[in-house]
Amino acid sequence: MNNSTRSIISSKFFIVPAFLLFAFSNGWLINQTHAQTTDCTRAEPTRIVKKSVYPKTTFKLSRDRRTGTKTVKFPNGDRLVITNAGCEYFYLGFRFETRRFSARTSNTKYWFARAAQLIAEIETGINAPSIQIPNAVRAIKKRIKTTPKPQVGEEIDYGGTDIRTFFAVKQIKRLSKGRFALELYFAVGPL
């Protein structure tokens, strides 16, 4: 290797680290995830499922640290997946997978009643006072009584004067082997 080749190689080894240092100091290489984390008004999601009530529970925090997922396995084989997310809103999504109930997925009145029942049953094991589970259950039952066919995806307010509190049944889906998935979410916001 001649002197000019050595000179070029050594200058590249200096230029690349110098560029990286410059780029990091100016924020060019900080990824979008970091920017989202620092701009978010909400704190990092935490475990909201009480292990003392539901010992067969797992918790995973996403890479962006904005979404927490809890999975609860019930003794009867049913399972519940809870998604705790949001930045401008506090969002809790509940996906119940169950064999306990069976009806056409188009029978929303039946499934809204099951949503109220399931949420009421798990209330003692959930630590999320801001979603006001008892008020949500009352609102779901009221919607069943006052609406001939409640709509999937319709956001229904049930509390909060300054900050909106609402829920929606997101999806009703037939799974394999006699199982059904019932998804609903609760949200508070904007914060």
More confident residue, 5 or 103: 103
For residue 115 the two structure tokens come to 């949503």
Q: Phi and psi of 118, rounded to 5°?
A: -65, -45
Virtual CA dihedral for 179, 101, 103, 138, nearest 10 degrees?
-130
pLDDT digits (tens, 9 = 90+) for 107-162: 999 999 999 999 999 999 999 888 899 999 999 999 999 998 999 999 999 987 78
> pLDDT per residue over 51-88, tens digit each?
899 998 888 988 888 899 999 999 999 999 999 988 88
Place 30 in a pLDDT band, splitting at 50, 70 and 90: very low
Residue 2: the pLDDT is 61
Q: How confident is the model at residue 28 (pLDDT cuts 50, 70, 90)?
A: very low
**pLDDT tens profile 147-182:** 989 999 999 999 877 889 999 999 999 999 899 999
- pLDDT at res. 4: 57
Q: Which two tokens stand for residue 43?
A: 């704190």
Q: What is the pLDDT of residue 80?
A: 96
Q: How far apart are CA 107 and CA 151, in angstroms?
A: 10
Out of 26-30, 46-50, 75-79, 150-154, pick the least confident. 26-30
User: pLDDT confidence of 14, banded at 50, 70, 90?
Assistant: very low
Q: What is the 3-state secondary structure (H, E, C) of the chain?
A: CCHHHHHHHHHHHHHHHHHHHHHHHCCCCCCHHHHHHHHCCCCCCCCCECCCCCCCEEEEECCCCCCEEEEEECCCCCEEEEEEECCCCEEEEEEEEECCCCCCCCCHHHHHHHHHHHHHHHHHHECCHHHCHHHHHHHHHHHHHHCCCCCCCCCEEEECCCCEEEEEEEEEEECCCCCEEEEEEEEEECC
Q: What is the Cα Rg of the chain in Å?
A: 24
Ranges of each domain in the chain: 3-30, 41-189
- Look at residue 187 and tell me whether its pLDDT is greater than 50: yes
State residue 63's pLDDT score: 87
- Give the list of residues 6+ apart from residue 54 with CB closer than 8 angstroms, or none: 72, 74, 125
Q: What does the alpha-carbon distance between residue 119 and residue 186 come to, in Å, rounded to a whole number?
A: 11
Give this prediction's pTM: 0.76
